[in-house]
Amino acid sequence: MAAILSSDGFRFLFRTDKGTVSRDVWWFGTTLISTVVLSFQIVWLLVSPHATSDLSQRGLFDAAALGVYSFLIVYAFVAFLSGVCWYNLSAKRFRDRGLAPSFAGLPMVLALLAGAAHWLAPRMPEMVPPFVPYTLDIALVLVILWCVFELGLRPAAKVS
């Protein structure tokens, strides 16, 4: 594991989708990425109540709201970058399993579609039926469970 923590190890795991990794390395990388995203999520839950700025109470410039939205920009960047890193890591593991590495992008695509559906459904109820966001949520959960099973629990494919 010491080699993984080096700069070359990080570069190999998170900046390219070439190569293969074992279950243990995949779990380590997934845990590392999840810890970073979860840390930002906890901070967001703590500061998000300050995201509203009522002009009648606080005036035109509100430093708290500016700080919260500045953090939100950084959080969004970290979330997208984490998604790319997880894709690269998972593509290596899918390749090790003998499956197409492009399957690694499926959870991110479904997460973006589900998020867009949850945003759009209340704004355009005549265009997006109310069951669509929840259907995409179910599909996302199923794909995540499949990825955890396939990448984290199954051994490497037998190469003949």
Which pLDDT value is given to residue 50?
Answer: 83
CB-count exposure of residue 2 (10 Å: 0-12, 13-18, 19+): exposed
| 34-54 residue pLDDT tens | 999 999 999 999 999 888 766
Q: What is the pTM of this model?
A: 0.86
The domain spans of the chain are 15-153
pLDDT at 151: 97
Q: Residue 95 pLDDT more than 60?
A: yes
User: pLDDT, tens digit, for every residue of 104-125?
Assistant: 999 999 999 999 999 999 999 9
Per-residue burial over 100-110, b if 16 or more Cβ lie within 10 Å, else e, is ebebbbbbbeb
CA–CA separation, 15 and 91 (whole Å): 11
> What's 156's DSSP letter?
P
